């Protein structure tokens, strides 16, 4: 996909809507008392209200050799350009991190013809979105696409003379590598806010009004921490932006948190997860599995409502389940058929 197709809005859209955009202008200091933001080129902008939406950055592995050439993180368009330039057919690539991003990177690289090994610290892939059964199905599907998957392996060192040549693990194993991609998580860009004196834990602490610890200063998206949660997805950031925009326009909305929901973008592998997918104490799980068809559904129910879901294989009902989770609708009237999906329930109701 060309970069032009992933731009949210062209420069003309912002212009037409009265938004002044300054490209390539990093904010380097914020003075809350003086109500100013200083930019890298020395310009100073005044503000009446200020919104931090500085996102986050990829965490680098704190091991020897992490700064060798050929060891990339996966965050922005420059990373993508570097990775795709380096990923020639037959290149030996180690991807560190078996979360959503690592898996998507591994798949993209394998599709480009690289020989990919995906290494993950935990005992299953995507442990923050999938239960053990769905994760095992995903592992088999990735292996069928030619990706080697190593679980419960910690990366201890990148080896090379200026450029990465091998990756070493805690079990003593060493893999020859022409390139490594590290996708082990993100860190909110909250330093600017902290230096300005705002309350920062992992992210910039905000309340249900998305207000920081200072009056008229707000934070949304990956840099914000709401009720102890830093979200790492577009949808929660959009929900926060929507609430804050309404508030700044004078309406009295509040933000109560978002339901985490994810889809994996690997062609032919349909995976969806939302809410409490593991099932906390006091919940009940409804499971439908057909290993022969490579299909698995787990719905987690609590107090007559759907609170979580994992779908593997057939994800056609994903949005419907998500809606039930988000709205907290009563499922008792159709609980017996819930696992079979919306079409059956609607047919029976007709
Ligand atoms: C490869 C990849 C794939 C992803 N795929 C998905 C997906 O499929 N679905 C999904 O929901 N999420 C996905 N995500 C996550 C999603 O991109 C983020 O959750 C989302 O972009 C967060 O939005 P944000 O505005 O908070 O932060 P960002 O999108 O990171 O935007 C923050 C911006 O602020 C700028 N900035 C930072 N500091 C300063 C400063 N001091 N001065 C000026 N500007 C500054 C940054 O350069 C950046 O442009 C993906 C992320 C990656 C890296």
When the pLDDT of each residue in the chain is averaged and rounded to a whole number, the result is 95
How far apart CA 225 and CA 71 sit, in angstroms, is 30
Q: How far is the CA of 177 from the centre of ligand 1 (A)?
A: 29
Q: How far is the CA of 275 from the centre of ligand 1 (A)?
A: 22
Q: How far is the CA of 232 from the centre of ligand 1 (A)?
A: 8
Q: Which atom of ligand 1 is nearest to the CA of 105?
A: 1
Q: How far is the CA of 55 from the centre of ligand 1 (A)?
A: 5
Q: pLDDT at residue 75 above 90?
A: yes
Give the Å distances, CA to CA, from 347 to 92, 115, 157, 226: 51, 47, 57, 41
First to last CA, the chain: 43
pLDDT at 349: 82
Mean pLDDT confidence for 123-135: 95
Q: pLDDT at residue 1 above 80?
A: no
Q: How far is the CA of 119 from the centre of ligand 1 (A)?
A: 24
| Ligand 1 lined by 235 (C-beta under 6 Å) | yes
Decide if 62 contacts 192 (C-beta within 8 A). no
Mean pLDDT confidence for 161-183: 97
Cβ-based burial of 294 (10 A; exposed 0-12, middle 13-18, buried ≥19) = middle
Query: Which DSSP symbol is given to 78?
Result: H
Q: pLDDT at residue 61 above 90?
A: yes
Q: pLDDT at residue 161 above 90?
A: yes
Q: How far is the CA of 76 from the centre of ligand 1 (A)?
A: 8
Q: Closest Cα to atom 28, ligand 1: which residue?
A: 55
Query: Which DSSP symbol is given to 161?
Result: S
* Dihedral sign computed on CA atoms, order 63, 67, 72, 77: positive
Q: pLDDT, tens digit, for every residue of 206-228?
A: 999 999 999 999 999 999 999 99
| Ligand 1 lined by 70 (C-beta under 6 Å) | no
SS3 313: coil
| Ligand 1 lined by 53 (C-beta under 6 Å) | yes
Banded model confidence at residue 301, pLDDT cuts 50, 70, 90: very high
Q: Closest Cα to atom 43, ligand 1: which residue?
A: 26
| Ligand 1 lined by 54 (C-beta under 6 Å) | yes
Decide if 177 contacts 167 (C-beta within 8 A). yes
* Candidate of 233, 241, 266, 274 to mutate for ligand 1, largest count of ligand atoms within 8 Å of Cβ: 233
Q: pLDDT at residue 7 above 90?
A: no
Q: Which atom of ligand 1 is nearest to the CA of 79?
A: 1
Banded model confidence at residue 347, pLDDT cuts 50, 70, 90: confident
Cβ-based burial of 222 (10 A; exposed 0-12, middle 13-18, buried ≥19) = buried
**pLDDT: is 7 or 107 the higher one?**
107
The encoded tokens of residue 86 equal 């380096």
Angle at 342 (CA atoms; ends 340, 344), nearest 5 degrees: 60
Q: Closest Cα to atom 38, ligand 1: which residue?
A: 54
| Ligand 1 lined by 233 (C-beta under 6 Å) | yes
| Ligand 1 lined by 189 (C-beta under 6 Å) | yes
pLDDT at 265: 84
Decide if 300 contacts 275 (C-beta within 8 A). yes
pLDDT at 348: 84
Residue identified by tokens 């860190």 is 187
Mean pLDDT confidence for 14-24: 93
Q: How far is the CA of 16 from the centre of ligand 1 (A)?
A: 24
Query: Which DSSP symbol is given to 269?
Result: B
């Amino acid at each position: 996909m060309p970069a032009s197709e992933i731009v949210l809005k062209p420069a003309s859209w912002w212009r037409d809507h009265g938004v002044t955009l300054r490209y390539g202008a990093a904010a380097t200091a914020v003075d809350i008392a003086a109500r100013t933001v200083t930019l890298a080129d020395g310009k100073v902008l005044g503000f009446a209200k200020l919104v931090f939406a500085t996102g986050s950055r990829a965490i680098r592995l704190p091991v020897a050799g992490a700064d060798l050439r050929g060891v990339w993180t996966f965050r922005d368009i420059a990373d993508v350009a570097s990775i795709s330039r380096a990923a020639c057919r037959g290149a030996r690539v180690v991807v560190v991190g078996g979360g959503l991003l690592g898996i998507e990177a591994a798949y993209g690289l394998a599709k480009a013809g690289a020989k990919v090994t995906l290494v993950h610290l935990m005992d299953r892939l995507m442990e923050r979105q999938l239960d053990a059964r769905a994760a095992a199905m995903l592992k088999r599907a990735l292996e069928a696409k030619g990706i080697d998957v190593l679980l419960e392996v910690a990366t201890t060192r990148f080896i090379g003379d200026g450029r990465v040549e091998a990756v070493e693990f805690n079990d003593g194993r060493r893999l020859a590598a022409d390139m490594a991609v590290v996708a082990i998580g993100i860190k909110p860009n909250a330093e600017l806010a902290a230096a300005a004196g705002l309350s920062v834990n992992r992210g910039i602490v905000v309340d249900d009004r998305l207000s920081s610890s200072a009056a008229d200063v707000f934070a949304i998206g990956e840099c914000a921490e709401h009720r102890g949660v830093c979200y790492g997805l577009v949808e929660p950031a959009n929900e926060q932006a929507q609430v804050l925009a309404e508030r700044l326009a004078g309406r009295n909305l509040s933000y109560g948190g978002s339901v985490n929901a994810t889809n994996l973008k690997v062609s032919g592998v349909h995976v969806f997860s939302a809410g409490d997918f593991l099932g906390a104490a006091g919940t009940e799980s409804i499971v439908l599995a057909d290993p022969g068809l490579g299909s698995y559904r787990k719905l987690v129910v609590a107090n007559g409502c759907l609170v979580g879901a994992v779908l593997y294989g057939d994800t056609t009902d994903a949005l419907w389940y998500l809606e039930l989770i988000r709205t907290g609708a009563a499922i008792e009237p159709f609980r017996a058929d819930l696992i079979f999906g919306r079409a059956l329930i609607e047919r029976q109701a007709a």
